[in-house]
Amino acid sequence: MKRIIQLLVSCEIILIFVLGANISNIYLQNKLLYDKTAAITIFSPNINEELADLPPLKKTAIFKEVAQATHINLTKIVWHSQTELSLYTTMPEKFTQGSQLPTQEPTEIFLSNQPSSSTNQIGQLDWLDNRQNLRLYSLTGLNHVGLDGLYFIENDTLENYPDFKKNIQEKLGLDIVEEDNYQGELQFLKALFQEPLLLATTSLLVLMTVFILLFVFISQSKKLALARLLGYSPLQQLKMMTELFKLPCLWGSALGLLLTLYFQGLIVKSFLSFPTALAFSSFGLLLLLIFISLISLLWLTVIVLSKNLYLYIKESKPLLPLMVITKLFILVFLAVLPVLSNQVQEKIQQGLTVQKADKEWLNAQNVYQTSLQYIGHEASVTRPYEKRMHTFYLNNSDTFALIDTSNYDTLASGQPLYAANTHSQAEQLVSPNGQSIQINLTYLKWQPIVKSDGTLVAANDLHYQADSINLLVPTTLKADAEKITQNYQSFFTFKTYRLATNIYEEKIEKLTPKVNLIWVKPKQTYFTYKEDILTSQRNLVTDPIAVVDIGNFDSQIYYSAFTQHIFFKAEPTLSGYEQVAPLIEEGAVQDQIQLVTSIYDFRSRSIHENQKEVAYYLILFVISLSTLLICLSLFTFSLFEKNQKGILLKHYYGYSPFQLLRQYFISWIALDLLVGILTSLVFNQQHLFLLTSLVLLAEIFPFIQIKKSIGETR
């Protein structure tokens, strides 16, 4: 038992160091980027022609001049992907850790933590996490991403904010909205709680430590009572109780320190956060020490306040407290195990499903998804941006593939959205709200679809008039051609006329839609590029009605599409943002498209996260199962020890082992089985037999030993 205690304490200390390394990185990065800042959103309303015609370089120059003249320190943080970010700031020295500053004015000049072949990189800076690629620009670099977006102002210059806002509005016609709900100090906590499984694992080990400590201290009650009678001071008694933890603390600290060095040197590849990691780890160790000391003092107080210390000395083992503690832990872990088992099974199944779709995803290794900068909910604010993005889409539709499969989203109930939006299966097949998707010609070049005559759908099959809507329809729906035509005429009217007139109150001509039905062979699939859609079907939509977009819907449709339904391919030698940056600057939409996400990298991270979750849940399951078995055995032996005289006496008078089992043990076994069965039925019925067998074995095996002990006693 002593070895088990020491091993668990060592494991807990190692985990404290692992947590310290991870938390320090999160803490320092969030402190550097967001702490002691206020947030504002800058956007361009409908400005006059004189300001609209200003070149982007002139706008950024004016913006920088205003910031310098009003003595305000601000930073724009742009995450281009999960690991790639750019900072545009008035105070580069805050982020450089003493490295060379970009003093030159050209917008291309930058500092980075990663070496590159670019001649515009004038130096290298130290960064907290070199798994990320950071580029640091002065404010003139905003030409690349536009002036619109979210900015963070240093609190110590907030008194100058009114002057800054006034000048920006006068000179550039920009509007500014204060983000009242933003709290920079809480960004660290938000990021921290994105690692719940690691925290849960540590919490479970802490729970086990409580059990082990109580078990040890109760077991040592006789020794402590004797020490009290012999005149030992409370401090001396506390030292006696904590002596057991010296060696595991040393071993755990040594291994934890080595793991921290490994994490900083080989994974993060930066030692900037190493002192903070040690500080967090030391704080965790201090908390553990205080925790152990408090429990020790608590039990010492119980002994000191006892009116009769001889009871502790006379009683070989304080069995009743041990039984209560072990039984509580048994019931807790019997309730937890089916939940963990269910999670392990679900995560493994998710991983297997993901692997089956690898063929399609391997073809998406250089595919990226766009995302737009948030502007606001007011229609008057967003409308100019929508029209600008519509124009950008029309000018670059040969680059950007569109596929909108949102009708196949899964609701919380598990029901697909198309089923919730329709009244019958028949309606699902022919309704725009049913089994329908939206694509464009570029997508068809990536994922060809075969017509009923055996040829591929091509550009000359589409109608390009403003009143046309093109549909790819499986030949299995030919009987419903008239119904499909009527439904999609209404769909076209809503997407063009009603959006503009009802929401934006614009006056436009109402067109009479002409539906072009293109019949395609059945059993064809459309790859969604969305990992969370139709996961069991390898993210493939089979036999939908596909609307082939030609750019004649309302601008709001394309603005929305750029948030999650637009994709493009990048050259292997370029990052996603580098591929489209020239198009973005040419279209003057830098303030909107600042983030692109690698579809394949996202999937790889998802697979890695799945594997990590499986590992965490397995660790939790094994720890819980081991603790349960230990507790069950300890409880059974404690119960026997407490009733040893009665059991031996009744056995002497002819009671069989099963009669003794029924009298002393059966009620406790029944309680354990009841809790285990109930939680298994609720969470995972497949493991009901396994859990029941474990409980019976764990409780009957000690009983076999008890029978052997009775024989030896006789």
Report the distance separating Cα 215 and Cα 630, nearest Å: 12
Mean pLDDT of all residues in 232-251 = 76
Weakest mean pLDDT among 28-42, 258-272, 545-559, 636-650: 636-650
Alpha helices (H) in 511-598, listed in sequence order: 555-564, 576-586
**Rounded Cα gap, residues 305 and 414, in angstroms:** 58
Give the bridge partners for 78, in sequence order.
86
> Has residue 382 got a pLDDT over 70?
yes
Best-predicted range by mean pLDDT (126-135, 352-361, 664-673): 126-135
- Average pLDDT of span 640-666: 68
Lowest mean pLDDT across 225-229, 248-252, 557-561: 225-229
Report helix, strand or coil for 620.
Answer: helix
- 457-484: average pLDDT: 94
Residue 427: band (very low, low, confident or very high) from pLDDT cuts 50, 70, 90: very high
Above 60 in pLDDT, residue 208?
yes
Pairing status of strand 566-569 against strand 401-404: antiparallel
Residue 392 banded pLDDT, cuts 50, 70, 90: very high
Tell me if 463 sits within 8 A of 429, measured CB to CB: no
| Mean per-residue pLDDT over the chain, rounded | 78
Extract the tokens encoding 555: 């601008």
Q: What are phi and psi of 88, to 5 degrees?
A: -120, 115
Entry pTM: 0.59
Q: What percent of the chain has pLDDT over 70?
A: 70
More confident of the two residues 713 and 452:
452
3-state secondary structure of 234: helix
Contact 333, 627 (CB under 8 A): yes
Classify residue 462 by its DSSP letter.
S
Q: Is the dihedral of CA 208, 211, 214, 218 positive or negative?
A: negative
Which of 55-59, 296-300, 568-572 shows the highest mean pLDDT?
Answer: 568-572
Taking alpha carbons only, the member of 510, 513, 429 closest to residue 469 is: 513
Q: Rounded CA gap, 624 and 640, in Å?
A: 24
Average pLDDT over residues 480-506: 83
The alpha-helical segments, DSSP class H, found in 220-318 are 221-229, 234-242, 246-262, 274-304, 309-314
pLDDT for residue 495: 87
Residue 252 CB neighbour total at 10 angstroms: 25
Angle, helices 688-713 vs 644-652, to 10°: value is: 70
- Identify which of 714, 356, 669, 364 has the alpha carbon closest to the alpha carbon of residue 534: 356
User: SS3 sequence, 377-425?
Assistant: CCHHHHHHHHHHHHHHHHHCCCCCEEEECHHHCECCCCCEHHHHCCCCH
Q: Is the separation of the CB atoms in 610 and 352 below 8 Å?
A: no
> In terms of Cα–Cα distance, which of 641, 625, 708, 636 is closest to 669?
636
Cβ distance 653 to 304 under 8 Å?
A: no
Q: Which candidate, 132, 597, 608, places its Cα nearest to that of 367?
A: 597
| pLDDT at 579 > cutoff 70 | yes
562 compared with 371, residue with greater pLDDT: 562
pLDDT at site 126: 84
pLDDT at 547 over 90: yes
Summarize the confidence of residues 498-508 as an average pLDDT. 69
Alpha helices in 504-573 (DSSP H): 555-564
What letter would DSSP give residue 510?
P
DSSP 82: S
Q: DSSP character for 117?
A: S
pLDDT value at 688 more than 60 = no
Question: For residue 508, what pLDDT is reported?
Answer: 77
Confidence class for position 597, pLDDT limits 50, 70, 90: confident
What pLDDT score was predicted for residue 526?
Answer: 94
Flag whether pLDDT at 363 surpasses 80: no
Token couple for 697: 């074995």
pLDDT number for residue 684: 57
Least confident of 16-20, 405-409, 570-574: 570-574
For 459-471, what is the mean pLDDT? 94
Please state the three-class secondary structure of 312-353 as a single string. HHHCCCCHHHHHHHHHHHHHHHHHHHHHHHHHHHHHHHHHHH
CA torsion 56→61→65→68, rounded to 10°?
A: 100
The winner for highest mean pLDDT among 209-213, 380-384, 418-422, 617-621 is 418-422
Torsion angles phi and psi, residue 417, rounded to 5:
-60, -35
pLDDT band at 670 (very low <50, low <70, confident <90, very high): confident
Question: Which class for 233: exposed (0-12), middle (13-18), buried (19 or more C-beta within 10 A)?
Answer: exposed
